[in-house]
């Protein structure tokens, strides 16, 4: 018994010694301006307590990378859009801290229902799930939600969703970051025709995000050519237009993809997300104007020109 007590006394001494050293190091690091334990940007990796700090550090700015499950030519994985957009968003969050929502692939993809592996939720569910997701994000402190789109089929859905936020009052703002254009000056693309889905550009980006999932040798097993089977003016829209042009759900030629082109595209995308996140953090107007708008919308007859 006695020896145990001595051992405990000694280990207590050792503990005190270690704590003193640790505190000393902490003060030293703080003086040098070294960051303490870096917070993960992954929502799902944070503890509840760290989540609180993360929301504070991000100034309530959260990213919702939005992908889909759909065929990507004969050579890319079904999750390509989500894998790419998450790669870009998570790298952007390293430069401009934001909390990144987990895998979200519940978007618009009716046009690929004839292909294996496509998951196309109903129109109602897409809108309801997205609304409840951003509502829940906001309830947890994400007062600025940036939906980072990774899927062409969402290009109409997302502005509509953002517009419909004016339907009733919200204490948060939905921002939609659409396609980020690749600036000039990079490696020149080899494609001459449309390169819109699983072609040179998208395959190049995937060579950066997940090269292990690219089967470039299979890229020419199917045609990604444009069949142009509808003869309509450009400003006349039909849901079947995509199928009329690209029935293999493939547009372009993935065999032309290169790492250089992919890196240039991916860097531009990451840059675009960083710029958007910075602008959103600085934006104090949108929420103020939304509140003003909702207040007026409650009694339009009392609203007079400013
Ligand atoms: Zn895609």
Kindly give the distance from the C-alpha atom of residue 94 to the centroid of ligand 1, in angstroms, as a whole number. Answer: 24
Torsion region of 173: left, alpha or beta (phi above 0 gives left; psi -120 to 50 gives alpha): beta
- DSSP one-letter code for 234: T
pLDDT band at 7 (very low <50, low <70, confident <90, very high): very low
Over residues 278-297, the mean pLDDT reads 97
What is the reported pTM?
0.88
Distance from the alpha carbon of residue 206 to the mean position of ligand 1, in angstroms: 10
- Ligand 1 center to 224 CA (angstroms): 13
Return phi, psi of residue 253, to 5°: -140, 105
- 98 Cα to the center of ligand 1, angstroms: 24
Q: What is the pLDDT of residues 242-279, one digit of tens each?
A: 999 999 999 999 999 999 999 999 999 999 999 999 99
- Confidence grade of residue 36 (pLDDT, cut at 50, 70, 90): low
> Is residue 212 scored above 50 in pLDDT?
yes
Q: What is the pLDDT of residues 109-153, one digit of tens each?
A: 999 999 999 999 999 999 999 999 999 999 999 999 999 999 999
Cα-to-centroid distance, 176 and ligand 1 (Å): 18
Tell me, in angstroms, the distance from the centre of ligand 1 to residue 3's CA: 68
* Angle between helical axes of 80-95 and 259-282 (0-180°, round to 10): 60
Q: 65-103: b or e for each residue (b if 16 or more CB lie within 10 Å)?
A: bbbbbbbbbbbbbbbbbbbbbbbbbbbbbeebbbbbbee
For the sheet with 99-100, list strands across it: 99-100, 61-66, 144-149, 173-177
- Ligand 1 centroid to Cα of residue 14, in Å, is 58
Cα 27 to middle of ligand 1, angstroms: 49
Supply the pLDDT for residue 145.
98
């Amino acid at each position: 018994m006695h020896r145990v007590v001595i051992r405990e006394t000694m280990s207590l001494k050792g503990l005190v010694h270690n704590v003193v050293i640790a505190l000393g190091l902490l003060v030293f690091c703080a003086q040098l301006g070294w960051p303490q334990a870096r917070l993960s940007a992954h929502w799902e990796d944070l503890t509840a307590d760290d989540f609180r700090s993360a929301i504070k550090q991000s100034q309530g700015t959260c990213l919702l990378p939005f992908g889909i499950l759909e065929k990507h030519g004969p050579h890319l994985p079904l999750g390509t859009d989500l894998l790419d957009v998450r790669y870009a968003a998570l790298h952007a969050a390293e430069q401009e801290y934001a909390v990144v929502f987990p895998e979200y692939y519940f978007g618009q993809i009716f046009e690929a229902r004839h292909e294996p592996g496509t998951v196309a939720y109903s129109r109602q569910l897409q809108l309801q799930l997205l609304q409840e997701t951003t509502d829940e994000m906001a309830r947890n402190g994400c007062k600025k939600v940036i939906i980072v789109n990774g899927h062409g089929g969402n290009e109409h859905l997302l502005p509509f969703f953002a517009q419909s936020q004016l339907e009733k009052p919200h204490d948060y703002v939905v921002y939609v970051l659409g396609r980020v254009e690749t600036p000039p000056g990079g490696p020149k693309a080899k494609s001459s025709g449309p390169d819109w889905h699983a072609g040179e550009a998208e395959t190049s980006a995937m060579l950066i995000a997940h090269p292990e999932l690219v089967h470039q040798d299979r890229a020419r097993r199917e045609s990604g050519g444009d069949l142009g089977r509808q003869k309509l003016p450009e400003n006349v829209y039909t849901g079947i237009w995509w199928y009329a042009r690209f029935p293999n759900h493939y547009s372009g030629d993935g065999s032309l993809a290169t790492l250089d082109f992919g890196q240039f595209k991916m860097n531009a995308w990451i840059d675009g997300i960083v710029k958007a996140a910075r602008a959103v953090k600085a934006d104090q107007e949108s929420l103020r104007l939304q509140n003003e708008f909702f207040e007026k919308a409650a009694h339009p007859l009392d609203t007079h020109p400013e």
